[in-house]
Structure 1
């Protein structure tokens, strides 16, 4: 009999592993449908879809190991990080998916709300919120939309040696800003940014990546707390915001 391993669970969805099968359970069927559509059209390796039923998506386990995890050192090689950048380049060059992502105006409204919540609840010192908000606002400009993964945490990228074996969790895939994917992949791991960009092989404004580091972190803290995660863990979102504020002060 196979053991059941809880991979991740929160108020919106849960993922469990049974042997070599992952089961994603999501009460939003439209989100599952959009994820499947994105996986089928993405020009990068994804997990094999075994079956889909209402509220459940079954995926085959990917070979290899995650590129890393937020808050922990990555043991992946520079070449593996570069391969992740190259995979992103393929994705961003692909035909646009039908699903629209958030607009700069929508993100600005979210930023207002999240900064107000952080201040009201004394989650962060006011100066750290203010400095990161100033940094984040740089990302809120018009962009040419591309096919974005939408939540490309390094734990969602699997590698075997220097090769990408697959990318997981396409539930947020949509038309969006290419820089957001690059920033999400390197959040908390700025030491690997150069490797990723070498594989991406396209000129990128580093200040926009830093802006998205602040914007993603400011938007994410309340969600993480509400869903049982700890953004105060070493190397995670609050550490990122503190580092960003100090850098901006210099």
Structure 2
């Protein structure tokens, strides 16, 4: 897709000199390129199916920038036909690849970010994101199916914990939906490793009206219960024990999902990280 990317740059940024163009990463739906160390271009693998979603995401980012307490991508251009979105590269490195020495120092920032984001007026985003009301019973069924694929990769000591979780009744459904990033994993949190600070949040393609504890659930999965509890204290949401129970439930389902993704796609860094976090996620 590199020739297509160059053509996009020529069309939308005439006269812009391309000194370097490298592949930044690849997911199930997109390829990302870095240009001159200053731009990121995300290209959909299915432009016909994702073009309109690209337009909505560009509009959404303008709303998010008003409410976010952290830097978010600033669109430079959105090409609906090509399924491409370009934005200025944010400073920092992905937290999943560059862990900080004191992750607990990130908790206040992440909790405050999530709390402010969840206050975004629903009418500002209702036409730009989906309502994600996937039932918790279906989450558990998906986790059961996923577990069957990766049980052989699980340490024997962890299997009992996972199987005990899968045998329980899921928590009650959330009482209300809020605007969420909806995929606030460590791979989408940028950090200054030396300063031990968060520098931005990227990848808003899954943003939705959803259960707000989902954002905090991935903090639990990726950074542990201690950081989660500290973040929750700074979220300023009206959380009760039921909300915490749902957060842990989502964290466990998403961890199983990450192992499957890493094993089946060859993206072993996701599986390895999930396996490393098994103990605290299922404690």
TM-score by length of 1: 0.81
**Greater relative contact order (Cα < 8 A, sep 6+):** 1
Give the Cα separation in 2 of the matches to 1:199 and 1:141: 23
Give the 3-state SS of the residue equivalent to 2:222 in structure 1: coil
Moved over 6 A (4+): none
Would you say the 8 A contact 2:61–2:74 is kept in 1? no
Identify which range, 44-53 or 27-36, moves more after superposition. 27-36
In structure 2, the residue matched to 1:69 is 96
| Matches for 1:139-158 after TM superposition, within 5 Å | 141-158=173-190
Would you say the 8 A contact 1:85–1:196 is kept in 2? yes
Give the Cα separation in 2 of the matches to 1:221 and 1:184: 14
| Residues 1:225 and 2:225 are matched in the alignment | no
Would you say the 8 A contact 2:43–2:85 is kept in 1? yes
Would you say the 8 A contact 1:104–1:142 is kept in 2? no
Segments of structure 1 that go 5 or more residues without pairing to the other structure are none
In structure 2, the residue matched to 1:168 is 202
Give the Cα separation in 2 of the matches to 1:229 and 1:165: 25
Shift of 1:110: 4.5
Shift of 1:116: 2.5
Of 144, 163, 166, which residue of structure 2 is paired with 1:115? 144
Give the 3-state SS of the residue equivalent to 1:57 in structure 2: strand
Of 134, 137, 142, which residue of structure 1 is paired with 2:170? 137
Would you say the 8 A contact 2:75–2:87 is kept in 1? yes
Provide, for residues 66-105 of structure 1, a one-character-per-residue CA deviation record: whole Å limited to 9, x for no partner: 4x217x6423664543122111111101112222343242
Give the Cα separation in 2 of the matches to 1:172 and 1:74: 26
| Residues 1:240 and 2:274 are matched in the alignment | no
In structure 2, the residue matched to 1:3 is 20
Would you say the 8 A contact 2:43–2:84 is kept in 1? yes
| Residues 1:21 and 2:45 are matched in the alignment | no
Give the Cα separation in 1 of the matches to 2:215 and 2:143: 21
Give the 3-state SS of the residue equivalent to 1:181 in structure 2: helix
Shift of 1:213: 1.2
Shift of 1:162: 7.2
In structure 1, the residue matched to 2:130 is 100
Would you say the 8 A contact 1:136–1:212 is kept in 2? no
Give the 3-state SS of the residue equivalent to 2:41 in structure 1: strand
Give the Cα separation in 1 of the matches to 2:181 and 2:84: 20
Aligned-residue RMSD, C-alpha: 2.8
Give the Cα separation in 2 of the matches to 1:73 and 1:158: 10
Would you say the 8 A contact 1:21–1:60 is kept in 2? yes
Give the 3-state SS of the residue equivalent to 2:277 in structure 1: helix
Give the Cα separation in 2 of the matches to 1:135 and 1:229: 30
Segments of structure 2 that go 5 or more residues without pairing to the other structure are 1-17
TM-score by length of 2: 0.72
Provide, for residues 17-68 of structure 1, a one-character-per-residue CA deviation record: whole Å limited to 9, x for no partner: 11201010112223323322321211113111111112211110112444x2
Would you say the 8 A contact 2:101–2:196 is kept in 1? no
In structure 2, the residue matched to 1:188 is 222
Of 216, 231, 237, which residue of structure 2 is paired with 1:202? 237
Shift of 1:147: 0.4
In structure 2, the residue matched to 1:49 is 75
